[in-house]
Structures are given as C-alpha cells and as structure tokens.
Structure 1
Amino acid sequence: MADAAVVDLSRLQFALTALYHFLFVPLTLGLSWMLAIMESVYVMTGREIWKRMVQFWGVLFGINFAMGVATGVTMEFQFGTNWAYYAHYVGDIFGAPLAIEGLMAFFLEATFVGLFFFGWERLSKLQHLICTFLLALGTNLSAVWILIANGWMQHPVGAEFNPDTMRMEITSFRDVIFNPVAQAKFVHTVSAGYVVGAMFVLSISAWYLLRGRNADFAKRSMTVAASFGLAAALSVVVLGDESGYTVSENQKMKLAAIEAMWETEPPPAPFTVFGLPDVAARTTHAAVRVPWALGLIATRSTDTPLPGINDLEQRAEERIADGLIAYDAMLRLRADRSDADARLALRDHAGDLGYALLLKRVIDDPRKATPEDIRKAAASTIPNVPVLFWSFRVMVGLGFFFILLFAYSFWLASKRRLDAHRWYLQLALWSLPLPWLAAELGWIVAEYGRQPWAIEGVLPTALGVSSVSATQVWFSLGGFVLFYTALAVVDAMLMLKYARKGPDGLGMWPPPAAAPAMPLQAASNA
C-alpha cells in the first residue's frame, strides 16, 4: 500500500496539471468552429473583412493551441511516472482511446493547423475553408477519444478482471466506445467549450467597442459570437440533463453528494436550490427545495427513488463484505492457478472485488478486517459533500447567466445596437473569465465526485500510484508548478499583446488606403 502522502501529492499534481490544461482545451474547441463559421461567410460573400476576421482570431487561436499541446503532452507521461499500477491494471482498456486520439485526431489537428496558417496564398478559398473545417473536426475528435477514456473511468463497461493476468482486460471495444457516460460527457463538454469560445470573442470585441476601435470588425465578431454562444449555452443546459441522468444510473453516491441528500427521498425527489451541508450532523440546513425537480431530471420518472448517502454507505458495506470473498479467491488462485473452487468464487463475486480493495487503505490484509474496518472503508466512498454541492450550483448558475447574456447580445445584434449601451459592453468584457470558471467547476464535480475511485467500483485511487517517494513527487510537483507558471505568464503576455494590438495594430484592418490618382498632366509628363 502506497504512503498516504504519495497518494495525495500524486492526486494534487494530476489535478493541477489537468485543470491548467483544461484552460486551453475549451477555447480550442469553441474558437475553431467560430473560425469555420466566419470563413464560410467570407467564401459565400467574398468580403475581405471576413477573411481578416478569420486571420485575426486565428492568431489568438494559434497561441492557445500551442499552449494546449504543450500542457497536454505532459499529462499522459504521468500515467507512467505517478500512476504506474493504474497503467498496469487497466492499461489495455484506457490506453486504446489515448493511442487512437494521438494517431488520428492529433495528427489531423497538427496537419491542418499548418495549412490554416500558411495556406492562404497557396490554396483556393474553398480549399482553405475545407482545411479550417477539418481543423475544427480534429479538435473535436481529440475530445471524443479523451472523453471515451474518461467516461470508462466513470462507468467501466466492456471489460472484466482476468484471473490469469490479474488485470482488467477489454472484452468489447464497441461497448467502450459507445459507453453512454462517455457520449453524455462528450456533448456536454464540447458545448461548454463552444460557450468559452463565444465568450472570448464577445468580450474582446466589446473591449474594442468600449475604446472606439475596429467597430465594424467587432460588431461582426460579436454577432457571430452571440448566435453561436446562445445555441451553445442552451445546449449545455439541455445536455447537462443527460449527464445528470447517466450519473443517477451509474454513480449514485456522486449524485447524492452533489445534492447533499443524506436520506433516501420519496419519489420524485426534490432539487435543493440552496442549503448549508453539515457533514458532521449529516443534514442540510436552510434547504430551499423545488419539489419533483431532481427526480424528473435524474430518473425521468415520478416513481423511482434516489438513494441517499446513508443508504449508499450501508450498501457499500455489503459490497465490501461480498468483495472479500473475491479477494480471498484471488489470492488463492494466485498461489495455485489450478484451484477450480477459487476460480469459481472469483467469477461469482468479481463485481465487488474493487470494494474489498478499499480496505487496503485501512488494513494491510483485508481478509483480517473487522466490522469497524469495513465501516471505515465504506465511509471513504462518500466524497467531499460541500465542495461538490457548491461547485455544482455555481456552475449551473453561471450556465443560466450565459443564456441570458447571449440572448440579450443576440437581440442587440438583430437590432444593430451592439454599441448602444456602455453597461452591456462592460458586462460582456468582465464576463470573460466566467466560462472558464464554470468549465473547471464541471471537472471538479466530475473527477472529485468520483473519489475514492480511480476506476469507479474497480480500482481505488490509493492503489493506482507508482512506487515512488513523497520527496520525488514533491520534486516533480514543484517542477510542474514552475513550468506551468512560466507558461501561464507567456500565454497571458502573448494573448494580451495581440488582443490589445487588434486587427488595426497588426495591419489586418482597415485595408491600406488606395494611393491618390495621379493628375492627368503629371501622368503625361511622366
């Protein structure tokens, strides 16, 4: 069993690198499609201003894309450096989507990002537009395969424990790909990325209008951002309902923690809009609830109960006790591969083997666990309720704010009054960081809510770490913090530099004034 400090430090390192990397991913997803939309208008109308819009926003896209690549590559290395047993135990399943992402989607992105920047004078309008669409497609394909891998961690389908290799091995790659959790996470995540891209364009364009610069440029950009952003923000809310449904099916403890629902509610369960979760007393004070709402969202029915934390904890104790049978059979089979009784017992109880492994953080030999040890292990299945409760509510509140802001922007754009209200432009500008905040909170809910599992119900996080010392992890963590801080400074400087310059400062727009016509007499003399 790894030292607790190594586990916590390894988790902290991966969390920091993942959250930092995800600053760049959603902007890449959203901005790539906005570039494709703007260039489509250019190809259809032939108006030069739309081409310059694509080129200008493309500069900021390129900076963000480069940072995303630099921060994303290092994350995968950590599966070997910090999470070696995780990679060994489930690498056959988890590694396949990552390999496909690298071979297919990443190379597609890398190829067409070059053609996007250097193909303006070498390709026809239509050919360049196709390249831009393929670039956007590549960014989304990358998200598909990453979220297939992550979705499998949340809902491990298409795999089973092999007693001969003592590892999880794939049984149906089709089930892994079409995992309903992965599908729900993909559409919800990319829609959130589209909101980020739309807000990025809207906010920077609002800044230009506040300063009386690039008005034609900014208004057209804001029109595209308002339309795209409104559709994306509505999609996030609608698709979030699907995510809630899949969580209720596969991660009941996560849902109960998000709702701070300690006791099983009679169906249909209410949704808690506001409350003060009290972990010690196992209750929620000052709760304001909307009747039926949670039951309808999470179960899509009026007669299906949602279990509370206390009942789920009791169920975890039962699964731990059942898993001990599988754990004992596994050890017997490891000692004697021909033990038919052990193989049969392991097959019948393998579904709860992961729960027995939770005892490894309580006692060295789970087979010697006391009822108190089992209760401690079962209690560890409860994630941090206040963090999940408030992260989810802030995220949802921001989602509805984005709908209102983009809807109002769309209305102003339709009336050609985007620059009519200074307060609106200031609101749009100061809203710039909010989609990132919502996206990061979404990942906290998804990943922190899965604890104590690295693979839901299969592998506890505490067992997945490498055989390294806390000093070694401190060293790598410090290196990542320094490296990523430097990248953050460079990224902020470059983004601010080119955003402040704007299309006029970069010589993109307005076009150079035509030289005055030479007088007829002077022309004849010449």
Structure 2
Amino acid sequence: MIDMDVVALSRLQFALTAMYHFLFVPLTLGLSLIMAIMESVYVMTGRDIWRRMTLFWGTLFGINFAMGVATGIVMEFQFGMNWSYYSHYVGDIFGAPLAIEGLMAFFLEATFIGLFFFGWDRLSKLGHLTVTWLVALGANFSALWILIANGWMQYPVGATFNPDTMRMEIEDFIAVIFNPVAQAKFVHTVSAGYVTGAIFVMSVSAYFLLRGRHQAMARRSMAVASSFGLAAALSVVVLGDESGYVTTEHQKMKIAAMEGMWHTEDAPAPFTVFALPDQDSQSNRYEVQVPFALGLIATRSFSRELPGIIDLVDRAEDQVRSGLVGYQALLDLRADSENDAARELLAEHWADLGYALLLKRYREDILEASDEEIAQAALDTVPHIAPIFWSFRLMVALGFYFIAFFALAFWLSSRGAFERNRWFLHVALWSLPLPWLAVELGWFVAEYGRQPWIIEGVLPTFYAVSDLSVWDLVLTIAGFVTFYTLLAIVDVWLLLRYVRKGPSEPEPQQGSAATGNGPQGPGLRHATAAYKE
C-alpha cells in the first residue's frame, strides 16, 4: 500500500524547492531583456549614462542569475531522489528537453554572462551588445525547454506506453516540442517574467528618486521599464487567456476547479467572480456571477458547454473501468508476450490505464476493486477547490493591477512627471513584491490544479514517489529550508548592498572644468554634463 505521508512530504519538498527557485527565474527573464534594451540605446547614442545603467542592472541580474543556478540544480536531482519511478517511467521523454536546455540554453547563457561582465574593455561596442542579447536569448531559451518538459506533464502528447519495457516512449518529438500547452505556458510565463523585471526596475528607480540620488539614471530606467512593462502586462493578460483556452481543451477538471463549477452550465457558462466553494456539499455559497463571461472566454463560442466537476467525475469513473480492462490485458501480455489479442486490447485501453492506477491507493489487487473504491478513485480526480479558486482570482486581479500601474507609469513618463507625483513613487516602491506573488500563484494553480496526476491522466502522483521513509524526507526538508533560508539572506543582502551603492558615477572631467575654476564655473559644468547625459 502507498504511504501517503511519504507522498505528501515528497510533494512538499519539491514544492518548496520549486517555488523558491522560481523567485529568481522571472527576474532573470525580465532583467536580461531590459539591460539588452539599455545597452542598445548606449550603442546607438554613445551616451555613457546608458552604459552605466546597463552595468548597474546587469550586476543585479548577475546576483539573481547565480542564485537561480544554485537552486535550479537541486531540483533536477530531486527527480531521481524523490520521484524515482517517475524518472524510470518517463525519463526518456522528460529528460530530453532538460538535456537540450542545458546544452542549448544554459551553457549559452552561462558562457556569455562572463563576457558580459569582463568584456567591456575587450570587445567592440557592437560585439558586447551581441553578447548581452545572447545572454537574454539564452535565458528565454532556457525557459522554453523547461516549459516544454512541464507542458508535456500537463498534456502528454507524442508518446505512448510500451508494454515490453513498461515505460512511456517518444513517438513524435516534434509533437512534444510544439505541444500547445507548452507553447501557451511559455509565452505566458516569460511575459510574467518581463513584468517582474519591469516592476523591479520601477521600484528601485522610485527608491532613488525618493532619496534624490542618481536621478538621471532613475528617470531613464523608469521610462524604459514603464513602456516595456506596459507591453508585457498586456501580453500577460492576452496570453493568459490563450493559456486558459488551451487548458479548457486538454485539462477540463483543472478549469472546472479554477471556476468552482460543480455542474455543467448551459452555454455560454457564467463567470463566478466571488463564491465560497464547499467541497463536502459540492456546491458554492454566496455566488456572484457575470452571465456568459466564462463560456465566451474559455470556449470562444456561444454554444459550447463547459463540463462541471460532477459530470467530469462520472466520466472519470468510466475511465477507471476502462483502465481496468487495459490493466488486465497488460497482465496477460506480461505472462505471454505473444498474446496478440491482449496486445490489441491494451492498445484500445492504455490511455485510461492511469485511471486504473488510482485504485492502487486503496488496494494492491486493483482488479478486485469494489464499486465504492472505483467511485472513490474517480472522486480523487477532483483537486481541493478553494485554494485553486482563490489563487486564480488573486492572480488575475494582480494582472489587471499591473496593466493600470504601467499605463499610469507610461503616461507620467511621457510627461516627465515622476518627481512631481511622489505618491506614485511610493506606490511603485511598495509594488515590488506583487509580481512574485502573482507568478507563484500562477504556478500553484498550474501544478496543484492537476492533482492527483504527476502526468495528466497517465501517472498518479502517489505512484511516482521513491521508496523513502518519512524521516528521510523530514531531515532533507529541514536541510533544504535551512540552506535556502541562508541563501535568501545572502541574496537580499547582496541586492540591497548594490542598490544602496547605486550605479557608478561618471569620471570627473579633466582640466579647469573638473575643479570648477576658470571660465567654466560649477553651474556651467553641471549644465554641460546634464546636457551630455
């Protein structure tokens, strides 16, 4: 029998390390493009202030990148340590995108980030700009391949089960790469990273303006971040809608859980703005709905129904029974590999085999499962509704806040009015944690919303764990929490140190202008320097 304490602790350990790692990923994505844009302006204009801006934000990028690498490596080892059956069952598929990510993206980014920091005096302006854009390209390629791997877990295309090896194997790698779920997740996730980078630049720049320091750099940084952030925030909402549409196509239970939709509604379904989901009674209390909105957004039609949770549970029960037929055929085939009838029967039902494995939580001999156990296994396909329901709504609310924030920032930037609106600078400063909250909520909805599956419809989460004891997991969780807490302290200390230090100052001018003597007095010298900036 499955030890559910081991499963719960394994999930907790991976969730802690994954969500901690993702504190660094979105800022890496956002800052990489922002510093590339700033260096592009430097190359086009020759103004040294843009070079100093690129170096300053690049230093913060480098700190964040190092922390992301340190925490990301641990996650990959966890697949073998905590999820050994998962690694055995789908390692050939899941490992391929991760290997390509290391070879194509991470090595590209890691190699050129050294040239970014140490190549300013060794490369031409155009050569160094190329390096900076390659760093940004590497960061985005890294996200692409990781999200291809994750997208396959959400929608396992291009692969089939081989009864001879008892593993999933790739049939069509192109289908894995162009998985619609993976592509939708990629564009939505990187756009969220761009918003994070833009908010970070806005917040730090607001801090400088409020303190009256590095004002020329801060104004220019806010101008770049406001326009870049507005485009990114609009993209997040638009591409989030596309991600939701794809989820409707391939993960119907997740959509129903996100919306707290217990019963199938007449098309087009209403969108529930507010409710208190009650999982025990399978109903919502105090619902506030917008008619037709969900159906139009999720299906893009007036006539297509969205199935409710209860109807999806009924479908899952049929799939459990179908999976049992496939399981019996698999046993027959294992006993006699030449049994063509069993092979054909398995081919018919293998897609539902994972649903039959849900019964392993209740009994070893699942072919003897009772009707009550089958019904319970089907009910297990429903995740906990309330956390998903409210996490999704808070994430969406933050997305619309970012649009309003950057639209206002763009308007103020166009009027050169940041310093005349100090209240906005305070808003920008205190908005710093919000994009991280939004991206963590997004990952929580994506991952928690597909439970009980580690691979949607194919492999239950509890079936994928390693043979570990509870104390193995308790001790390693304590170790990870301690180590990651120390890393967090170091990261925050380094970021604060370099933010307080600020960007490098321009070199003093030579001659009488540098001392303020002669015909160029202090006022004229400062005016000339400001004009050059």
TM class, shorter-chain normalised? Answer: over 0.9
Distance 1:343 1:515 in 2: 89
Looking at structure 2, the residues matched to 448 and 362 of structure 1 have their Cα atoms a distance apart, in angstroms, of 22
Asked whether 1:225 is paired with 2:225, we answer yes
Q: Is the 8 A contact 2:2 2:360 kept in 1?
A: no
Query: Can you list the C-alpha shifts for 1:450-482, whole angstroms capped at 9, x where unaligned?
Result: 100000000000000111111111121111111
* 1:93 aligned partner, one-letter code: I
User: What residue number does 1:509 align with?
Assistant: 505
Comparing 272-281 with 34-43, greater Cα deviation is found at 272-281
Question: Which position in structure 1 is the counterpart of 2:485?
Answer: 485
For 2:426, the equivalent position in structure 1 comes to 426
Aligned-pair CA distance for 1:510: 4.2
- CA deviations 1:22-75 (Å, max 9, x no partner) are 000000000000001000100000000000000011110000000000000010
CA contact (8 A) 1:362 1:376 kept: no
Distance of 2:433 and 2:102 partners within structure 1: 30
Report the counterpart of residue 112 of structure 1 in structure 2.
112
Query: In 1, Cα distance between the equivalents of 2:25 and 2:331?
Result: 43
Aligned to 1:26: 26
Correspondence 1:294 to 2:294? yes
| Deviates most, 268-277 or 390-399 | 268-277
Q: Provide the residue aligned with 1:134 in structure 2.
A: 134
| Separation in structure 1 between the aligned mates of residue 225 and residue 328 of structure 2, nearest angstrom | 59
> What do the CA deviations read for 1:269-300 (whole angstroms, capped 9, x no partner)?
11111111111221111211111111111111
- Which whole-Å CA distance do the structure 2 matches of 1:86 and 1:333 have between them? 22
2:258 alignment partner AA: I
Q: Which residue of 1 aligns with 2:159?
A: 159
**What secondary structure, in the 3-state scheme, does the structure 1 residue paired with 2:502 have?**
helix
Q: Provide the C-alpha distance between the structure 1 equivalents of 2:111 and 2:296, rounded to a whole number of angstroms.
A: 45
Q: Give the whole-Å Cα distance in 2 for the aligned partners of 1:510 and 1:407.
A: 32
Aligned to 2:528: none
Match of 1:524 in 2: none
- Distance apart, 1:337 and its partner CA: 1.4
Residue aligning to 1:245: 245
Residue 444 of structure 1 corresponds to 444
With the length of structure 1 as denominator, give the TM-score of the two structures. 0.97
CA contact (8 A) 1:7 1:462 kept: yes
Q: Identity rate of aligned residues, in percent?
A: 67
Q: Which amino acid aligns with 1:498?
A: Y
Tell me by how many angstroms 1:515 deviates.
4.5
Residue equivalent to 2:497: 497
Tell me if 1:326 matches 2:326: yes
| Cα drift, residue 107 of structure 1 | 0.4
Residues 192 and 236, structure 1, Cα contact 8 Å, conserved in 2: yes
Partner of 2:316: 316
1:83-102 equivalences under 5 Å are 83-102=83-102
- Alpha-carbon shift at residue 513 of structure 1 (Å): 4.7
- Determine the structure 1 residue equivalent to 2:360: 360
Residue 203 of structure 2 corresponds to which residue in structure 1? 203
The CA distance in 1 between the partners of 2:510 and 2:207, in whole Å, is: 29
1:47 aligns with 2:43: no
How many Å separate the matches in 2 of 1:412 and 1:85?
A: 55
| Counterpart secondary structure, 1:272 | strand
Give the number of equivalent residue pairs. 516
Using structure 2 for the length normalisation, give the TM-score: 0.95
* Aligned Cα root-mean-square deviation (Å): 1.2
* Match in the other structure for 1:66: 66
Structure 1 residue 511 displacement after superposition: 3.5
Aligned to 2:177: 177
Q: Hey, what does 2:529 align to over in structure 1?
A: none
Q: Measure, in 1, the Cα distance between the counterparts of 2:2 and 2:33.
A: 45
1:5 deviation in Å? Answer: 1.0
1:165-186 deviation digits (Å, cap 9, x = unpaired): 1111110000000000000000
* Aligned mates of 2:419, 2:22 — CA distance in 1: 32
Shift of 1:332: 1.8
2: CA distance between counterparts of 1:130 and 1:279? 54
Give 1:14's aligned residue: 14
Q: Which residue of 1 aligns with 2:124?
A: 124
Whole-angstrom distance in 2 between the partners of 1:239 and 1:456: 22
Distance in 2 between residues matched to 1:159 and 1:27, nearest whole Å: 33
Q: Which residue of 2 aligns with 1:523?
A: none
Paired residues of 1:327 and 1:346 also in contact (CA < 8 A): yes
- CA drift of 1:2 comes to 3.5
CA contact 2:154–2:450 (8 Å) conserved in 1: yes
Letter of the 2:132 partner, please give it: T
Q: Do the aligned partners of 1:2 and 1:467 also contact (CA within 8 Å) in 2?
A: no
**Whole-angstrom CA distance in 2 between matches of 1:515 and 1:374:** 88
| Correspondence for 1:400 | 400
Once residues 482 and 22 of structure 1 are traced to their aligned partners in structure 2, the CA distance between those partners, rounded to angstroms, is: 18
Letter in 2 for 1:491: D
Give the structure 1 partner of residue 409 of structure 2.
409
